[in-house]
A = this chain, B = another copy of it.
Amino acid sequence: MSHESVTHAFYSDNTASVAPELLAAIAAVNTGPQPSYGDDPWTLKLDTAFSRFFARPVRAFVVTTGTAANALSLATLAPPYGNVFAHAGAHVVEDECGAVEFYSGGARLTLVSGDHGRIDPGALEQALAAHPATVHTVQPAALTLTQATELGTSYRPEAIATLSAVAHRHGLRVHMDGARLANAIDFLDCAPADVTWRAGVDVLSFGATKNGALAAEAVVFFDPQLVRDFELRRKRAGHLLSKSRYAAAQLLTYVESGLWRTNAARANRLAQQIAGAAGSRLSHPVEANELFLELGAAGKQALRAQGFGFYDWGPAAGPEARFVVSWDQTQQSVEALCAALRALRSA
């Protein structure tokens, strides 16, 4: 990706800057020596803060990347001979270089389909039926859901509950990849609990980095029994930070100040604005901060010529493009994109 000639970058919320509130939180804890490896006062407050956030007792742990959060979570749920059911387009499948396989000691990802990035309950039932547990097969162990999905849609609480019920009935634990959880909660306008533990989620990768943090994610356990195994795996993977306070301080500010919602709401709102301009070019409902547009080769070229930066979705020669609205997206970029999309439509 060359950003050189790009005026309006919609590549990914991974390219966003760090929210000033979180930089300030980092600076605020830079106060001389503090206990290391999570024994500092801020890391020690995470359980309380996240328990309040989720309206029930939870255990929350710092990691620096979403890949680490996902792989560590799933390694805690799946034995080496485990079978983890995931949407075919999930980040753990497509974008983590086999992290789940690495962390679990060789568990398998079995792909499940579903429209608009959401696992279809019928398809999950079929996949489970097609993968019975005999001594010759990998053993059904976990279901992982992504919220918001990789296609910018969000699961309704009932949809998650339905999938979790299927999973639990078959003895699977449920993991949620919440790299964009804030965007989903804002879109759904529900409580954090509604799309997580109340809907059957056992372990959550709680994302903050895409939404303004500096390499700070949390793994949240709704079942405390899994915690010790997780802690040892995290250490062993080099993901226990000696200077944990700087990530913890960000997470505290993020969940306690409402920044998670403010930033997500802004990105979502701008995404809706673009969706309005995109009209029938939308491939999927816009239920978070991502848009997938059928622009055609000419449309993509036209937008790039005007300084818009975005990724092809699918083959470079294909018609589809992905636009991600970051928490720090400028209003000006959004308006320019809206105008350009409207111009494309009338062309």
Contacts and interface: CB of A to CB of B under 8 A. Distances in A.
B236 A102 contact: yes
A236 B98 contact: yes
A87 interface: no
Contact of A16 (B33, B106, B236): B33
A151 interface: no
A268 interface: no
Interface stretch (A59-67, A155-163, A300-308): A59-67
Contacts of A139: 232
B229 A243 contact: no
B215 A243 contact: yes
Interface residues of A, number: 80
Contacts of A315: 129
A17 B1 contact: no
Interface stretch (A23-31, A186-194, A290-298): A23-31
Contacts of A30: 17-18, 20, 23
At the interface, is chain A mostly helix, strand, loop or mixed? loop
A209 interface: yes
A229 B79 contact: yes
Given A3-B34, A33-B15, A238-B239, A95 B328 contact: no
Interface string A30-51: 1111111101000000000000
A233 interface: yes
Contact of A98 (B11, B17, B80, B247): B80
Nearest to A22: B30
Which 6 A-B pairs rank lowest in CB-CB distance, beginning with the nearest?
Answer: A68-B238, A101-B106, A67-B238, A14-B36, A14-B242, A105-B105
25 contacts: A1-B39, A3-B34, A9-B33, A17-B34, A23-B26, A33-B326, A33-B328, A37-B135, A63-B238, A64-B215, A65-B238, A66-B238, A68-B238, A68-B239, A80-B233, A81-B98, A81-B236, A96-B235, A97-B135, A97-B137, A99-B235, A99-B236, A129-B315, A135-B232, A215-B246
Given A12-B36, A65-B239, A95-B137, 15 more contacts: A1-B35, A12-B242, A14-B242, A15-B33, A18-B26, A64-B64, A81-B97, A96-B238, A97-B236, A98-B138, A99-B235, A101-B107, A102-B106, A106-B106, A111-B111
